[in-house]
Amino acid sequence: MPYVYIVQCADGAFYTGWANDVTRRIAAHNAGRGARYTRTRRPVTLVYQEAAPDRSAALRREAAIKKLDRPAKERLIADGRLRAGSRS
């Protein structure tokens, strides 16, 4: 099952991506094998994830989240924690 996730980088920046195995993907980011954006901003911490029904939906949701401004992403992260407890 694909997931959309947000990580917070060591410098406080957010990075949004998608993966079938979020745990493995976060490990790849922290090992320097993830996205180029996160390579110089390690370590990253998972702050949000949500399931998507399929890869196409995950890619659409990833694109939608990337368009949000920082305050909207912070609200999404906070709302996600309130609904389902810590997602990290």
- Per-residue pLDDT tens digits for 10-56: 999 999 999 999 999 999 999 999 999 999 999 999 999 999 999 99
Fold adopted by 3-78: GIY-YIG endonuclease (3.40.1440)
Of all helices (H) and strands (E), which one includes residue 3? strand 3-8
Q: How far apart are CA 6 and CA 17, in angstroms?
A: 7
pTM for this predicted structure: 0.90
Q: Which of 8, 11, 28, 9 is nearest to 19 (CA)?
A: 28
Phi, psi of 49 (to 5 degrees): -150, 150
Band of pLDDT at residue 80, cut at 50, 70 and 90:
confident
| Domain residue ranges of the chain, discontinuous segments joined by + | 3-78
